[in-house]
Amino acid sequence: MIKRSSHGGARQGAGRKGGPSEVVRLPLPVANLARRLKSGVLRAGDINGFLDVETRTSIAVPLMTSTAACGFPSPADDYLDRPLDFNELLVQNPAATFAVRIAGESMTGAGLFPGDVAVVDRSLTPVNGSIVLALIDGEFTIKRYCLVDGGIVLLAENPRFMNIEISAEVGLEVWGVVKHAIRML
Amino acid sequence: MAVPLALVDCNNFYASCERVFQPGLRGQPVVVLSNNDGCVIARSNEAKALGVEMGAPWHLHKDRFARTGIIVRSSNYTLYGDMSARVMRTLGGFTPDLEIYSIDEAFLGLAGFEDRLEAHARDLRATVLQWTGIPVSVGIAPTKTLAKAANRMAKKDPAPGGVALLLTAAAQEAALARMELTDLWGVARRTAEKLTALGITTPLQLRQADPQFLRERLSIVMARMVHELRGTPCLGLEEVTPDRKSIVASRSFGRPVTLPAEMAEAVAAYASRAAEKMRRQQLATANLVVFVETNRFRPGDPQHCANQSVQLPVATADTGKLIAAALRGLATIWRAGFSYKKAGVMFLDLVPAADVQGGLFDATDSPARQRLMGTVDRLNARYGRDTVSFARSGRRRAWKLRSAHHSPRYTTAWDELLTVRDTRRDQSPPPSVPPHFHGRNDEDHRQ
């Protein structure tokens, strides 16, 4: 007679926990992800976990900022049915475009009169002949930026006003380039 | 290897906004006061160095500030909100994966830039400074918590030139070794005390701690922090500690939004989410910004990006009121015919909700009052704060908020633009008048 013994056999509560399981081969990143899921650090819906797992075989092309946001649509595009948009006309780079009020007369020869709104783009680099909003000794001024004999001169466009030669003593900071003047008649 | 994350944070943001248009404030101690000129909510580095404390009540320190040459500005949230939108728009050109965290901070996912992170970060910094005038610091690391630590390093130490990278274990450990627990994001005094009670006194020790142990003894938040400190990302945007200055809810859309009803739904959802975050901190707001943006990375598409500031007469934490305000702002900037890729709502000027009690209207406004409120809000949103004000107020003595040191709204009001006059320097007359000079003088007219 075989006596049913209480010895031997599995210990109470032994065995793999958590229900049925199977052995699977996984790529290492996916295995790590699964491990994190199990440990509770990562929740199933957490998008961050998947950032590690994607194998990148393609290289992302970095997006440069030189032709920045919100600019003119391409001429090839057919958007003739939209109303004229003055923002498009006047603002190439909204993040860097500011409006300032002209209250001086030093640039009347260039068409900038007191009361005008000057549209200033900080993202542009001045070139010879640019009209700039500049800081001279901490004061704002609008002048034409000219390169002369290797140096910079800020020209007034009104004979009553002086040009400003930039040197080590007269420091120049260009705040932005004036692209348009708007005048309410 | 985890995607490198950058945390970009504006230096002394409110003071920096003022300095863009008032360059005389550069290098000076500047403080910005809260609504109603109540207390100090922002300080430039120079003001910090003079010992000005955050939250210092203005009326107690007025004389001291005057004596020590500290320059005071009333908060100009309209300006700050607009400048923030500009900074964020600029940052959006450096990655398609931008998460706006607060009025002056954002996370950027830099997948694809791994081989030139530092150069990219320096380019970003220079571009933001040039385009907006706002200086920023950049911290780059594999996780948000470490990126925040890197950003702190970049900000405090001028040597790295505003950019700090914590990409290697050695760099991370060296940085953490120089920090206190309370310097870590999401660890305030109470949490630090609890950690110390468990034998963890430094960020390095926290990094070496057992996450499971911390999860059991403290919270899953702390367990996640351990992983984050080790370089394993696990914080989603919603799980980061909300900022105290501002609350943002913003997302890129999975597919472009072209219908006004869809956009209204999205904006309402963001306003609602932000309101929840705000209420959890027992705060309220009277100032919000709504922004929308098309996909800049499809330049063939017509582009439109805009932001609108909305001011409420009474600070509120009421989701209904905030949604209504956000939608009013949206209505002024929404344009048909564009495929919007992203929108967001940002609450500025967060005040303790308790301080708003005793206001003119309570939570159970009658419909007539609500209509009146709506009209008031629309007028104030369109024509500027306090366009319509009330003769009586609740707790505040005068309805019209004190704002004696307010700078102009340089970027949102046509009659408050920066004005460029003739300077002393360019007005000195030329030494002699050349003979061919045709000026407006009497001789010419007599000819």
pLDDT digits 0-9 by tens, B212-246: 998 888 888 888 889 999 999 988 766 666 677 88
Once rounded to an integer, what is the mean pLDDT over residues B22-47?
92
Chain B residue closest to A132 (CA)? Answer: B420
For A137, the 3-state DSSP assignment is coil
Q: Which residues in B96-240 belong to E strands, given as ranges? A: 98-102, 105-109, 136-141, 163-165
Name the band, by pLDDT with cuts 50, 70 and 90, for residue A68: very low
State yes or no: pLDDT of B447 exceeds 50: no
E strand or H helix at B256? strand B247-257
* C-beta atoms surrounding A47 within 10 Å: 8
Query: Within a 10 A sphere around the Cβ of B323, how many other Cβ atoms?
Result: 19
Say whether pLDDT at A168 is over 60.
yes
Whole-angstrom Cα distance, residue B146 to residue B148? 5
Extract the tokens encoding B103. 């009025």
Greater pLDDT, B332 or A21: B332
- Residue in B with minimal Cα distance to A46: B236
User: CA–CA separation, B323 vs B340, rounded Å?
Assistant: 19
User: Rounded distance, CA A182 to CA A97, Å?
Assistant: 14
Q: Do A48 and B90 touch (CB under 8 A)?
A: no
CA distance A39 to chain B (A): 9
Q: Residue A69: which residues within 8 A CB-CB, separation 6 or more?
A: A93, A94, A95, B89, B92, B93, B293, B296, B303, B305
* Alpha carbon distance A140, A147 (integer Å): 20
Q: Does the pLDDT of residue A154 top 50, yes or no?
A: yes
Give the residue, B103 or B438, on which the prediction is more confident: B103
ipTM for the predicted complex: 0.80
Assign B339 a pLDDT band (cuts: 50, 70, 90): very high
Q: A4: distance to nearest CA of chain B, Å?
A: 43
Question: Cβ(A171)–Cβ(A136) under 8 Å?
Answer: yes
More confident residue, B429 or B253: B253
Predicted pLDDT at B443: 44
Test B90 with A141 for CB contact under 8 angstroms.
Answer: no
B184, β-bridge pairs: none
Residues of B in contact with A98 (CB under 8 A): 410-411, 418
Counting residues of chain B whose pLDDT is more than 90, the rounded percentage is 53
pLDDT, one tens digit per residue, over B192-221 is: 888 889 888 899 999 999 989 988 888 888
Amino acid B203: pLDDT: 92
pLDDT at B188: 80
Is A143 annotated as catalytic?
yes
| Interface with chain A: mutation pick from B86, B131, B308, highest number of A CBs within 10 Å | B131
pLDDT of A75 reads 59
Q: Name the region of B332 (left: φ>0; alpha: ψ -120 to 50; beta: rest).
A: alpha
Report the C-alpha gap between A176 and A86 in whole angstroms.
21
How confident is the model at residue A4, as a pLDDT? 61
- Nearest chain A residue to B297 by CA distance is A69
Q: Measured at the alpha carbon of residue B360, what is the angle toward residues B355 and B361, in degrees to the nearest 5?
A: 95
Over residues B161-184, mean pLDDT:
92
| Closest chain A residue to the Cα of B336, Cα to Cα | A82
Instruction: Of B296, B395, B309, give the one whose Cα is nearest residue B355.
Output: B395
Q: What is the pLDDT of residue A115?
A: 96
Judging contacts by C-beta atoms under 8 Å, the chain B residues touching residue A93 are 131
pLDDT at B377: 62
Contact A41 B130 (CB under 8 A): no
Q: Is the pLDDT of residue B159 over 90?
A: no
Which residues from B are below 8 Å from A42, CB to CB? 234
In the block, tokens 């007359």 appear at: B429
- Note whether B99 and B237 are within 8 A (CB): yes
Binned at pLDDT 50, 70 and 90, residue A82 comes out as confident
Bridge partners for B30 per DSSP = B71
Out of A106, A123, A130, A179, which one is annotated catalytic?
A106
For residue B388, what pLDDT is reported? 54
- What tokens does B226 get? 């351990």
Contact A139 B1 (CB under 8 A): no
pLDDT at site B187: 84
| Contact call for residues B317 and B278 (beta carbons, < 8 A) | yes
**Amino acid B343: pLDDT:** 93
Which of A28, A54, A160, A175 to mutate against chain B (most B CBs within 10 Å)?
A: A160
